[in-house]
Amino acid sequence: MALGKDSDPDYFGSLRRLLILISAGLLLALFLVWRIDNARVEQFRVTLLDRVTPGFEWTLRPVAATARMIADLRAWRRVYQQNEELRREVQRMQGWREAALQLEQKNARLLALNNVRLNPRLTYVTAEVMADAGSPFRRSAMVNVGRADGVSDGSTVVDGLGLVGRIAGVGERSARVILLTDASSRVPGVVLPSGQRVMVSGDNSVAPPLDFVGQAEALRPGDRVVSTGDGGLYPPDILIGRVTLGADGRQRLRPAADYRRLDFVRVLRRAPPPVIEGPGEIIGPLAAQPDLPPAPPEARQ
Amino acid sequence: MSGARALSRPARTGLLLLLGVVAIHAALIPLGPGGMLVPPDLLYCLVIAWVLRAPDAPPVWLLVGLGLAADILLSRPIGLGALGLLLAAEVAGRNRILLRGLPFPAEWAAAAIGYALILAGIYAALRLTFAEAPAPYDLLRYLVATALAYPLVALAVAWGVRLRTAERAHPRERLT
């Protein structure tokens, strides 16, 4: 077909068809490469995002800020009501503050008595959320810290209150956060009053379901879920959220992190605890077997 | 063929490239990461609305480049989105005269059906290769968001960009 140009010979059309065929084949091959060597292609994706996103940041931020301002404007209408609510909340919180102070002092006394050494390596860096995932295939966000800030793959991300997710893909100056709600996110947790171990498995919905629940009847809506630290990826005792009952009757988790206002997050920089392998040098050199022949030269290298 | 006020072919290519980058970039704005909002696929809307209105089809390299950039930057499965975009643009381009002869709601429905087919294809490819596929409900929301965005993008392309002179000047291009 001459596509509106009557004078064109048809071989332009067939050339275009050939080009499209070749491109389609290449794109299909690219998809297969993505499936076969996912880690490397994803790293390439992060590197590209790392290059591109900071250049666009100056346009992303004002638009996001404007959208937030509009959302806040809507909240003005019920400002009186909110004021009342806040006043009541402050009263309640003052009670909690007293309790927390007393507990803190008690805790400090007990720690001093026990001579506990806390892990000093848990530091954090605060990051700003730069970009959204942009499609429903992933629940993720880009943050503006990267390898240069000591962030590594698997670093835990929290907001002021609860767990947000983990880092998957680090560039030099940016990193991608896989949110708790993403389909590839699994967080081992424990439900606090009952002590039930659960797995918070994201499924791209707003409230991820709880899997591997031992006694489902022991869980009640409103129970707190904190991380256990099993598997070594997430540090223990970070609040993940509260148990809630989904519309489908499944027990789900309402994340404690406020995903609607995710503008600043903390990325925990955590050195993994040293793994002790073998007896080390404490017991003495392994020279107790003098009969062994000398090691071949390649083994020493 | 085109009148004095319509854009030339290189200018059209450049403008489509620029608008495509803007469309990809708009989806990246962090309005509510992890929230309920699903951004529409503006690039698809733009390309289809453009192809139906421009006097000739955009170059293949441009469609492949924009599609790949969107796949990479919007964390979609790499390659499939670009393939879908390319094929949809080609099908739309070949049936342009027919589609332009129909009233706008029919064009709108055709664009939505095209996108539904693309999403179904991506979903099938992901399931066939045992990759994690998003829930069909999420894809449905993506489809709805894209379909809702299509008239706005088409309006912007029709009124904002002078792709050709008034259609009455081309009686031969209407349904023959």
List pLDDT tens digits, range A87-126. Answer: 999 988 888 888 888 898 888 888 888 877 666 567 889 9
Residue B174 confidence (pLDDT): 42
- Is B23 inside any structural domain? yes
Residue A119 confidence (pLDDT): 62
What is chain B's pLDDT, residue by residue, as a tens digit (176 residues)? Answer: 444 467 788 888 999 999 999 998 888 877 766 556 788 999 999 999 999 988 888 899 999 999 999 999 888 899 999 999 999 999 998 888 888 888 999 999 999 999 999 999 999 999 999 888 888 888 898 999 999 999 999 999 888 777 765 444 444 444 43
- Is B2 inside any structural domain? no
Contact B73 A48 (CB under 8 A): yes
B123 min Cα distance to partner chain A (Å): 10
Which of A267, A279, A256, A280 has the alpha carbon at shortest distance from A178? A267
Mean pLDDT over all residues of chain A?
Answer: 81
Contacts of B29 in chain A (CB under 8 A): 60, 63-64, 67, 131-132
Contacts of A259 in chain B (CB under 8 A): 32-35
Q: What share of chain B is helix, strand, coil (3-state, %, to 5)?
A: 70, 0, 30
- Please report, rounded to a whole number, the percentage of residues in chain A having pLDDT higher than 90: 18
Residue A183 confidence (pLDDT): 84
Which of A60, A130, A75 has the alpha carbon at shortest distance from B25? A60
Tens of pLDDT, residue by residue over A8-19, are 556 677 888 899
Question: What letter represents residue A256's amino acid?
Answer: A
* 85-114 of B, contacting A, C-beta below 8 A: 86-87, 90, 93-94, 96-97
- Is B119 inside any structural domain? yes
Q: A165 φ, ψ to 5°? A: 165, -155
Residue A199 confidence (pLDDT): 93
Residue of A nearest to B85 (CA): A24
- Is B134 inside any structural domain? yes
The DSSP 8-state label assigned to residue A250 in this structure reads -
Residue of B nearest to A33 (CA): B78
Q: Order across the sheet with A239-245: list the strands.
A: A210-211, A197-201, A186-191, A224-227, A239-245, A251-255
Contact B55 A4 (CB under 8 A): yes
- Expressed as residue numbers, the domain containing B84 is 9-175
Contact A16 B83 (CB under 8 A): no
B48 min Cα distance to partner chain A (Å): 15
Asked if A131 contacts B28 with a C-beta cutoff of 8 angstroms, the reply is: yes
Other beta carbons within 10 Å of A111: 12
Which residues neighbour B4 within 8 Å (Cβ) at sequence distance 6 or greater? none
End-to-end CA distance of chain B: 18
B155 min Cα distance to partner chain A (Å): 22
- Is B85 inside any structural domain? yes
Residue B71 and residue A134: Cα distance in Å, rounded? 10
- pLDDT tier, A23 (very low <50, low <70, confident <90, very high otherwise): very high
- Is B108 inside any structural domain? yes
Which of B60, B32, B28 has the alpha carbon at shortest distance from B41? B28
- Is B4 inside any structural domain? no
Tens of pLDDT, residue by residue over A38-89, are 888 888 888 888 888 777 777 777 877 887 787 777 777 778 888 888 999 9
The token pair that represents B90 in the structure block: 């080609």
Contact A205 B135 (CB under 8 A): yes
Residue of B nearest to A30 (CA): B79
- Is B3 inside any structural domain? no
Other beta carbons within 10 Å of B103: 7
Indicate the number of domains in chain B: 1
Q: Which residue bears the tokens 């998809």?
A: A31
Residue A150 confidence (pLDDT): 86
Residue A43 and residue A46: Cα distance in Å, rounded? 5
